Structure 1
């Protein structure tokens, strides 16, 4: 009878867990409870007899088994896909673990699940990511924000048939090769052979276009052709290449743009400007020559009375002469003559003089026999042609003027076309950050000149925002110039008292101005078309006008989109797969507030179940280890979804039927035992 009683009790436990599972089949995050059976055996069995024992049960929970996922329209419903548990707290601050992710914001801004527990995470509002102690997530503290305008797209159509406001362009950059070119710095290099005659001239122009942005343009002229703007690019003897480099405002190093120029497409020779620096003041830089001293060049005949350039005599002979002017921090009128001469087997001499000291452009420089500015002897390996002596940079000092550095470490001496710069030249110099920005513009009384009665073709306006969220309206003027060119000028509308010119003090410059050039065939804008407009009290607005056109239609604005916003409260919240809880705003911004914490234990199924579908860690489960969603072995989060219970109703119904049958069988055993006792008791009577 005791065995049957234990059996009925065990089946009652099984029926109890089955009943709980069925009752919680729709409970979010619920984990199925199971009843495990084990035998009870009496310790002392009589010889030839049997003493029945019974059965005992252990309740187990399938906490580590995930349920299916349901999707909702609420961003605060969260499902964990993978390992891990949400960390939640009750009103007393006690922490629990759960997979029940159906959270909703309460009146205090906390995220509560259906059990009334608050979601916990790490504060993200210090601007440097989550950190500190675990805290209850509080969405009521989402900040009021305002964002400054920094980027925008502003495409317009400029009427092709409009009359020109001005037909003259001035201060154009060297890359346009116009008659009114303006630049910041000019470097000139001329090469000749010992027999005389001009081998070639290279003019390199450095032009400051904007803050930290410079145009570098090189013209290569072969033969005795004239140099200067405009260069004859159609004659076949002059070639041009240009690039725009952007410099880091802190380090002064090149950070954007192609630093190599190759003016002549038929020649692999290049100029490398990757070592340029933008500094507060322009200091002397360095020149690094890379090329070949042809090995079978005849060396000087000392027996015949020939002497090298370092002797500085009228009889000095050389293989090549290169002249450099306008270099580095030296005055533009200073020119340096560099002579290259083979003076022995595999040995070359490179000598430098100040051209101002020359006699009719040659030797002697100053007093005959006087020392040159600098001399370098280079020795090459006869087999490999590599430089083995004379490597490294050295200074060419010009008395009372300054000095500059020359590096010949990359020179070789092989049987090949002779040139001290056959492969390329690395140019390193400092560009003065304080240099005036050179801005091309139309001549005459046009909008960019900001005078009363200034002329223009069309006008529009746009609204940007400063860092406080104040609206800043800027007026944009479009003035048609020559040859498919339009001048765009931008002014702050607050600076005008009349609704037009002048803005502020007459003649003061606009906030920004640029020249838009259109392709005459496609009537589409050439170049990048980005106008940088500084907004008072805000940031620099990079206005992308690259989609603008010049068609036979009226002026119109075809697209106008900008970032930035006025001061506003959040309109919603979002939760990323990595657990970052962000406030979202009207302008599409998202501000990270918290990062949800996940925890895991070594043996989740051994945690202690508590009311509200939450669990407490204990000795059997192991301590909780904290982490972030998606890190380590922890799963990721899905916003707008939650995890269902892991109950299978079909299995539970089967278990219920089986439990009922076994319970009935045990009751029959008990009934039979009771009847047997009745028979035994009746024997006494």
Structure 2
């Protein structure tokens, strides 16, 4: 047996326990860090060959592992931009260096430029929202991603393009009877434009409807946008013509703004022995309205909330995952990058293909168990002391050996 080998074995044991204490210290320090995944130290023996009946002491080596795939509990907050993932997947964030990383730390805050950044300064990434199709999923790449930006003009407006107006026309009125109603529409600048619909009975089961717009000039000028259009009804008072049951108005320019051509459906119009009544009147578009908040759905769609109650989808949060999350490479700021052992990064969306749901107004807690860490600390302390005793004993034996020459 080599006395030097005994001392080196003691040093190896002390280094191993020091590594374990380092992971314990990191875990305890980050017990309240959002989305933090605990580290643990695994030990492996180093055995040296023994010859001639002499035992050669080896040592111990350590390997640090991360419980990245272990989900923490959730803490609920009052901020809609605090995000957590209930299930698999990672948020994709971009650092100041322009490089994309993975993280579970979702404490995002709107910045003055409209982007969402977490406490470590990483910017949340996603795709521009499309109501018709999802962006192409990219394997092992972040092409097409853009910073999610909640900044918008303080006011937004959308011009009208379609709507519906269904009325009941009184069948018991005489020929020549007229009745009018109006529908508010919006031009390209969000101005309200009042369209007038005038109905006139021309014969039994026959009416006309004329759509017009009257400006506020002096004297007022009325422009006919559609009609008169003939409407006929069957013996049960149901609309026969026009077919299809819709009115298409002419486009016009009003004080520099465009009032688009409108497709107004009238399929629910009836002719019954009852008073004139509007049963359905609606139009798309909206006037100027301020952004007052945000809403993020569980499938990651980020919508702006306007004062008039409208929600406008703007972005969709992208998620990413790898085949072996515990093998990702951790970096400062509670982020991860792909490693040789983790597998390639695969993109996806919340709620699809094994990805978890996004919780708005929630944060994922650290998965550190303080009691477990304190227990590990005591074990490491005792083991470190024991290994130091091995080193001390070897040192004393070496001193005895040296003193034999005296």
TM-score (structure 1 length as normaliser)? 0.47
Match of 2:254 in 1: none
Residues of 2 paired with 1:495 and 1:105: CA distance?
A: 43
Match of 1:637 in 2: 358
Q: Secondary structure at the match of 1:14?
A: helix
Q: Secondary structure at the match of 2:151?
A: helix
| Displacement after TM superposition at 1:676 (Å) | 4.5
String of CA shifts for 1:647-680, please: whole Å, max 9, x gaps: 2223222222222222233234344444545555
Match of 1:93 in 2: 98
The 1:35–1:628 alpha-carbon spacing in structure 2 relative to 1, beyond 3 Å, is same
Q: 1:151 aligns with which of 163, 174, 178?
A: 163
Match of 2:61 in 1: 56
Conserved 8 A contact 1:150-1:540: yes
The 1:650–1:545 alpha-carbon spacing in structure 2 relative to 1, beyond 3 Å, is farther
Residues of 1 paired with 2:42 and 2:217: CA distance?
A: 88
| Displacement after TM superposition at 1:32 (Å) | 1.2
String of CA shifts for 1:30-74, please: whole Å, max 9, x gaps: 11111000112233x353443332222111112222223333343
Match of 1:21 in 2: 27
Conserved 8 A contact 2:35-2:106: yes
Match of 2:329 in 1: 608
| Displacement after TM superposition at 1:515 (Å) | 8.2
Match of 2:151 in 1: 140
Match of 1:34 in 2: 40
String of CA shifts for 1:615-642, please: whole Å, max 9, x gaps: 1223232332333444444444333333
Count residues with an aligned counterpart. 381
Does residue 470 (structure 1) correspond to residue 191 (structure 2)? The answer is yes
| Displacement after TM superposition at 1:463 (Å) | 1.8
Q: 2:212 aligns with which of 488, 492, 511?
A: 492
Does residue 76 (structure 1) correspond to residue 81 (structure 2)? The answer is yes
Following superposition of structure 1 onto structure 2, how do residues 540-559 of structure 1 map, counting pairs within 5 Å?
A: 540-542=263-265
The 1:503–1:103 alpha-carbon spacing in structure 2 relative to 1, beyond 3 Å, is same
Does residue 6 (structure 1) correspond to residue 5 (structure 2)? The answer is no
Residues of 1 paired with 2:203 and 2:13: CA distance?
A: 103
Which protein, 1 or 2, shows the higher relative CO under an 8 Å CA cutoff with sep ≥ 6?
Answer: 2
TM-score (structure 2 length as normaliser)? 0.74
Determine which structure has more spread, i.e. the larger CA radius of gyration.
Answer: 1
Does residue 565 (structure 1) correspond to residue 318 (structure 2)? The answer is no
| Displacement after TM superposition at 1:124 (Å) | 4.2
Residues of 2 paired with 1:3 and 1:603: CA distance?
A: 34
| Displacement after TM superposition at 1:512 (Å) | 6.4
Q: 1:115 aligns with which of 99, 114, 120?
A: 120
Match of 2:3 in 1: none
Following superposition of structure 1 onto structure 2, how do residues 142-541 of structure 1 map, counting pairs within 5 Å?
A: 144-148=156-160, 150-151=162-163, 167-168=173-174, 443-444=175-176, 446-447=177-178, 460-475=181-196, 491-494=211-214, 527=238, 532=246, 534=248, 536=251, 537-538=259-260, 539-541=262-264
| Displacement after TM superposition at 1:609 (Å) | 1.2
Match of 2:367 in 1: 646
> Which shows bigger deviation, 618-627 or 558-567?
558-567
Residues of 1 paired with 2:217 and 2:125: CA distance?
A: 56
Match of 1:204 in 2: none
The 1:486–1:684 alpha-carbon spacing in structure 2 relative to 1, beyond 3 Å, is farther
| Displacement after TM superposition at 1:28 (Å) | 1.7
Conserved 8 A contact 1:122-1:134: yes
The 1:3–1:139 alpha-carbon spacing in structure 2 relative to 1, beyond 3 Å, is same
Q: Secondary structure at the match of 1:655?
A: helix
String of CA shifts for 1:546-575, please: whole Å, max 9, x gaps: 7999889xx998986654202445444443
Conserved 8 A contact 1:511-1:534: no
Residues of 2 paired with 1:604 and 1:665: CA distance?
A: 36
Conserved 8 A contact 1:72-1:640: yes
Conserved 8 A contact 1:512-1:534: no
Q: Secondary structure at the match of 2:214?
A: helix
Which ranges of structure 1 fall in alignment gaps of 5 or more residues? 169-442, 448-455, 520-525
String of CA shifts for 1:258-311, please: whole Å, max 9, x gaps: xxxxxxxxxxxxxxxxxxxxxxxxxxxxxxxxxxxxxxxxxxxxxxxxxxxxxx
| Displacement after TM superposition at 1:14 (Å) | 0.8
Does residue 661 (structure 1) correspond to residue 382 (structure 2)? The answer is yes
Conserved 8 A contact 1:88-1:95: yes
| Displacement after TM superposition at 1:596 (Å) | 2.9
The 1:480–1:580 alpha-carbon spacing in structure 2 relative to 1, beyond 3 Å, is same
Conserved 8 A contact 2:208-2:228: no
| Displacement after TM superposition at 1:127 (Å) | 7.5
The 1:29–1:672 alpha-carbon spacing in structure 2 relative to 1, beyond 3 Å, is same
Residues of 1 paired with 2:381 and 2:190: CA distance?
A: 71
Residues of 2 paired with 1:7 and 1:120: CA distance?
A: 45
Conserved 8 A contact 1:583-1:590: yes
